[in-house]
Amino acid sequence: MLKLYGGARSRASIVQWYLEEIGAEYEFVQLNMQSGEHKLSSYLAINPMGQVPAITDGDVKVWESGAILIYLAEKFGKMPDSLAGKAEIYQWILFANSSLSMGLTPSDNRNETMKRYLQPVNEILAQQPFMLGEAFSVVDVALGSILAYIPMMFQDVDLSAYPHIQSYLQRLGDRPAFQKAIMKRS
């Protein structure tokens, strides 16, 4: 069975959210990160970086939450066939895990820094309920989970200037899979 390795309140909840959304069978292996279980050689054989999340699926090992999401979307038939469609998904997942996440690192003017990313996302969500249009997709898991961190952990970033992001987060928060995986980390 597919195994998801995570810790209490870790980014493994992002992957867990998607596994729940697609109804995949999986086992959640909770590592005791306080005692350093993620640095044991048995786990380093799965992720040499000693970080969570990681998955094993038979002989396949994947780490980095974005790469795991793409793997799962491919495996469970949720990726478009066209290269252009796939590229749109890679683009948003990489954006969420690089530019957007970096923008949230501590700084004196995080609120200002985030404007350049949050404003365009807000404009897109003014036109459509989900990032790729009418339908929920893996992009909403990648981007939505980083956006959902903001009110939980970065209260200096004022989301009231982005009402469409706020209603998006509410829409995502109503999803049972989100509640099962993400809400428990708040």
Ligand X SMILES: N[C@@H](CCC(=O)N[C@@H](CS)C(=O)NCC(=O)O)C(=O)O
Count of C-beta atoms within a 10 Å radius of residue 83: 8
AA letter at 154: F
Main-chain phi, psi angles of 77, to 5 degrees: 70, 35
Nearest distance from residue 85's CB to ligand X, in Å? Answer: 23
Nearer to ligand X by Cβ, of 122 and 147: the residue is 147
Residue 6 Cα to chain centre, angstroms: 13
Nearest distance from residue 175's CB to ligand X, in Å? Answer: 21
Q: Does 144 bind ligand X (CB under 6 A)?
A: no
Nearest distance from residue 124's CB to ligand X, in Å? Answer: 23
Q: Does 52 bind ligand X (CB under 6 A)?
A: yes
Q: Does 64 bind ligand X (CB under 6 A)?
A: yes
Question: CB under 6 A: which stretch of 48-56, 73-81, 84-92, 174-182 binds ligand X?
Answer: 48-56
Q: Does 97 bind ligand X (CB under 6 A)?
A: yes
Nearest distance from residue 164's CB to ligand X, in Å? Answer: 25
Q: How far is CA 178 from CA 18, 144, 185, in A?
A: 8, 10, 11
Q: Does 51 bind ligand X (CB under 6 A)?
A: yes
Query: Which is nearest to 121 in space by CA: 89, 143, 88?
Result: 143
User: Which residues lie closer than 8 Å to 104 by C-beta, 6 or more apart?
Assistant: 110, 114, 146, 149, 150, 154, 157
Binding footprint of ligand X on the chain (CB under 6 A): 10-11, 38, 50-53, 64-65, 97
